[in-house]
Amino acid sequence: MPKYLAVSVLCTLTICFAASESPADCTASWQGPLIDYTTIYEDEGGGQSFLACESGYIKSVSFFSVGSGELTCTISVKEGNLLLPQGTVQTVTIAHGWNIIELDDPLPVVQNTQYCFGIFPVETHLTLQVNPWNAFADGEHLYTHLGQNLISASLDIPFSIEITSYNPVSTSKTSWGSTKDLYR
């Protein structure tokens, strides 16, 4: 009579769901009429300061560019109102129209603190649409010229800053080795 070996295998399947938080209700933005233009030349920068309307993480920066083709730029998002390629910095491709730049490394922000984003063309120049009436009360158009940080009291860049209440980038990763060690 054949002998059978009964083997019982116990498997556990664990499914985890992350709490899905939607972006904060707060979006620092100003999107008034697009009436005039400002040009940012290579080795210079241009941008906008704003107040964070909620504590959390800046997930994306949006602004309107004018021109044809695509242009490589460096974008910087940081605390304060000095345009320097510091803080969260990444290289992006800018095209004509609304550009939504998802940050690779979201910047933590504190409500009612001033921050700014800067755009620095790597080649040639970039033209942005602006409103010449300084209509955005919580910030100013910033630019650099000949190495100096300057504020334009009469211009604002139409923009949008998406702030989430959680860090959308995972800060912990489990490797196969660490998982395997748990069950030894």
Q: Is residue 173 domain-resident?
A: no
- 13: pLDDT strictly greater than 80: no
pLDDT of 124 reads 84
Q: Is residue 178 domain-resident?
A: no
pLDDT of 86 reads 77
Q: Is residue 110 domain-resident?
A: yes
Interatomic CA distance for residues 135 and 32, integer angstroms: 8
Lowest-confidence pick of 88-92, 131-135, 146-150: 131-135
Smallest Cα–Cα separation from 32: which of 123, 172, 133, 142?
133
Q: Is residue 108 domain-resident?
A: yes
Question: How does DSSP classify residue 26?
Answer: -
Q: Is residue 2 domain-resident?
A: no
pLDDT of 131 reads 76
- 89: pLDDT strictly greater than 80: yes
- 173: pLDDT strictly greater than 50: no
Check residues 177 and 164 and name the one with the higher pLDDT: 164
User: Which CATH number characterizes residue 152's domain?
Assistant: 2.60.120
- 16: pLDDT strictly greater than 60: no
Please give the average per-residue pLDDT across 20-46, as a whole number.
66
Extract the tokens encoding 97.
Answer: 């129209």
Angle 74-141-132 from CA coordinates, rounded to 5°: 125
Q: Is residue 124 domain-resident?
A: yes
SS3 for 82? coil
- The structure's pTM equals 0.72
Which residue range forms the structural domain that includes residue 105?
A: 28-166
For residues 130, 133, 135, 138, the Cα torsion angle rounded to the nearest 10 degrees is: 80
Q: Among the ranges 28-32, 108-112, 124-128, 131-135, which has the highest mean pLDDT value?
A: 108-112
- 125: pLDDT strictly greater than 50: yes
Please give the average per-residue pLDDT across 47-56, as a whole number.
90
Please give the average per-residue pLDDT across 155-162, as a whole number.
86
Q: Is residue 113 domain-resident?
A: yes
Q: Is residue 77 domain-resident?
A: yes
Say how many domains are in the chain.
Answer: 1
